[in-house]
Amino acid sequence: MNAISHDVAKPAVAPGSQGSKLAALNAWVAEVAALTKPDAIHWCDGSDAENAALIAQMEADGTLVKLNESTHPNSYLHRSHPDDVARVEHLTFVCTSRQDDAGPNNHWMAPADGHAKMDALFDGCMKGRTMYVIPYCMGPIDSPLSRCGVEITDSPYVVANMRIMTRMGAPSLARIEREGTFVKGLHSIGELDPERRFIMHFPEELTIKSFGSGYGGNALLGKKCHALRIASHQARSEGWLAEHMLILGLENPQGETHYIAAAFPSACGKTNLAMLIPPEGYRAKGWKVWTVGDDICWMRPGADGRLYAINPEAGFFGVAPGTSAKSNPNALKSIQSNTIFTNVGVTADNQPWWEGLDDGQTPVTDWRGNAYDPAKGPAAHPNSRFTVSAKQCPSYSPEAENAAGVPISAIVFGGRRPSLVPLVFEARDWTHGVLVGAAMGSETTAAATGAVGVMRRDPMAMKPFCGYNFADYFTHWLSFDQAGANLPKIFHVNWFRKGDDGSFLWPGFGENLRVLEWMIQRVKGEAGSVETPIGHLPKDDEINLDGVQLTDEARAKLFGFEREGWQAEFASIGEYLDEYGPRMPQALKDEQQRIAKALGN
């Protein structure tokens, strides 16, 4: 294919290369075409030729700007509309037959109303445009844990990103045709009007409709929309878990690799942890960290009772600001070529630039395309992104393509908590661990619209992404604790504890490996702990702090237990659980009460 046609007067769906052997898919594509009225229909095959034609087309119309070929070969800059730079949680809906099934954690709309609202927006919206049909697979193409979908979009930018982020094209279409089922995703950038922007999910129909946004989380429907909101609903009905978690492999000097899944809200260091480089002393001894995934984790019980996980994504859609040779050298190395940058600044010699890059360069153009003026804001938007294949990461794990998944030894929850919460503690058992995840709190970041720095509960880092009632979601988590289960230990971390002067007490970044090492020692029964009402804290000197300089205040706050503060915290957790009414599992409320009593509440 040498060009993407825009001048077809009447779109047609033909068999073979233009179309599918699956009648249900062809019928849906025809139905969408009749509604949206595109000038042309293109079925994406994922080929290099197709991608090259799309890139050339976007360069010609200004959708993409080619970056410095000598420093960043085959890399491009995309600038989105200034009002379209983040997820829009207040415009994101879950449409279930009964409102209670969506829960108070979601904005709800009746399915009939949701379809009517969206179809009115989609009516004729693709006139003058090409409609792209993108068959994709979330997860290794041959994995029984993977699930497929088809996104229809009028955005070539979405096609190019979906090619990086999913297994997209002919192999995925072949699997869809074999299985006969797929998640339907319909997207149009519309007019990029914030007043005409909605992201609707219909979990009972395995359908997504997104209109009016080109931002990744709203437009790359395989990502948050499918891999979390729809997949969490699929997972509940099919007996697995779809989670907002990184997956890393921690290899010790003996050659043993333990896999850890960790949930943090967006922009709280997930990608940094997933690509962590061990401190020099650890590297010298042979410690390694392997990256399986940086954002989403699908887990299913195996025959041995352990949870096995895959990363459903094939790429990274990472936050650029703060990514540097110091914070995340592996991420920086990953994005030196074959990368799409969105909403970053540009230097005089056309290199991508963002705050925190610390490369000695100076931007001349900001993310809006204007001359950079620090008085008018940052060069890169705080939520600017990079899209790149996971295989370009120096720490990429060959196990990422393992169709069986990797066995999970530990699950970690964490968020931005400047006070109260210690560096690390271990849940007493699975039920306590579910409560730890359910009660997670974090300061908000720029990944979502709204105020930044506000503390909110974000259970399992899934508040914006759970496709059904949180109370039912917690019940589903609890259901994995049954005879024969060999479940991971659950931990909570807080890299963001601050001192009285407002500075961070823990150095973070590569030093976080010291905490992971203690977790694996706990998994293997090789490390002790101090039992407190909130869980097991490390004993003095059981976390290797060689070479880490901590003040007395830092040691007290990072490894201490503040009873009065936790009394207030658990009273707040009890009130939070009560917000979900009678559907909240009694086991979780009993656990909260048990701990509150132990705290002396």
Residues making up the binding site: 87, 215-217, 224, 244, 266-272, 295, 383-385, 416, 509-512
Count of other CB atoms within 10 angstroms of residue 571: 14
Tell me the pairing of strands 424-426 and 352-353.
Answer: unpaired
Reading the block at residue 320, the tokens are 């650029």
Terminal Cα-to-Cα distance of the chain (whole angstroms): 69
d(CA 334, CA 312): 19
Closest CA to 153 of 189, 118, 184, 181: 189
Helix (H/G/I), strand (E/B), else coil: 426: strand
Could you tell me the CA-to-CA distances from 459 to 166, 265, 488, 494 in Å, in that order? 26, 9, 18, 15
d(CA 385, CA 492): 27
Reading the block at residue 192, the tokens are 């990029």
Tell me the pairing of strands 65-66 and 147-153.
Answer: unpaired
DSSP 8-state symbol, 374 = G
- In the chain, % helix, strand, coil (3-state, to 5) comes to 35, 25, 45
Reading the block at residue 540, the tokens are 């003095």
d(CA 550, CA 561): 17
Closest CA to 307 of 259, 267, 273: 259
**Residues carrying an active site annotation:** 268
Reading the block at residue 437, the tokens are 């995840």
d(CA 492, CA 461): 12
d(CA 332, CA 124): 42
Could you tell me the CA-to-CA distances from 218 to 6, 92, 103, 199 in Å, in that order? 25, 9, 21, 7
Could you tell me the CA-to-CA distances from 585 to 305, 348, 434 in Å, in that order? 23, 58, 11
**Would you say 312 and 147 are in contact if contact means Cβ atoms under 8 Å apart?**
yes
Burial of residue 171, with CB atoms counted within 10 A of its CB: 0-12 exposed, 13-18 middle, 19 or more buried: middle
Q: What is the CA radius of gyration of the chain?
A: 24
Helix (H/G/I), strand (E/B), else coil: 270: helix
d(CA 311, CA 302): 16
d(CA 346, CA 364): 6
d(CA 474, CA 352): 42
Look up residue 455 and give its amino acid. Answer: M
Count of other CB atoms within 10 angstroms of residue 45: 17
d(CA 24, CA 5): 25
Cα dihedral 280, 281, 285, 288 in deg (nearest 10): -40
How many residues would you count in the chain? 601
